[in-house]
């Protein structure tokens, strides 16, 4: 997943308070993992209520088709629960509530409703229903 740096938000910010956000994780049968890099967030049977993730710095690149600056390495999340739910596209994916902690360096893209940060606290309980539950809740007949 490549985070596109928005032209009007091209400089990193420092979180002045905890920022609530949402992350999609996949259930591979054993663990809850990041769908893009297969990074483990929660191990099956683990008892922790949340996990703290941290990276040293962002990794940048340029999309040579659009000439937009991108961030390849960073902790990617959505700023709204609606956007996160809309991006769930596999039966084994669910949305998890997260917090970008106060004092953390981050970027925000308002057009895509996305953040990318250096630190992230992810809570273990799925915050929203999975795609399967969404599909089953659709009314087929009026």
Q: Model pTM?
A: 0.84
Number of domains in the chain: 1
Cβ count near 46 (within 10 Å):
13
- Residue 95 belongs to a domain: yes
- Residue 58 belongs to a domain: yes
- Residue 140 belongs to a domain: no
% of the chain exceeding 70 in pLDDT: 87
- CA separation (Å) from 8 to 12, 15, 82, 105, 108? 11, 17, 23, 17, 10
Q: 3-state SS string over 39-54?
A: CEEEECCCCCCEEEEE
pLDDT per residue over 87-110, tens digit each? 888 878 889 999 999 999 999 999
The span from the CA of 123 to the CA of 50, in Å, is 4
Q: Which domain holds residue 30?
A: 13-129
């Amino acid at each position: 997943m490549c985070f596109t740096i928005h032209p009007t938000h091209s400089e990193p910010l420092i979180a002045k308070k905890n920022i609530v956000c949402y992350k999609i994780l996949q259930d591979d049968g054993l663990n809850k993992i990041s769908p893009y890099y297969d990074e483990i967030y929660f191990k099956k049977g683990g008892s922790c209520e949340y996990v703290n993730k941290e990276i040293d710095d962002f990794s940048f690149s340029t999309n040579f088709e659009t000439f937009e600056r991108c961030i390849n390495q960073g902790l990617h999340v959505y700023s709204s629960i609606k956007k996160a739910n809309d991006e769930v596209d596999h039966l084994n994916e669910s949305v998890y509530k997260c917090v970008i902690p106060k004092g953390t360096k981050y970027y925000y893209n308002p057009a895509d409703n996305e953040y990318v940060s250096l630190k992230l606290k992810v809570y273990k309980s799925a915050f929203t229903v999975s795609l399967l539950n969404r599909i089953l809740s659709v009314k087929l007949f009026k």
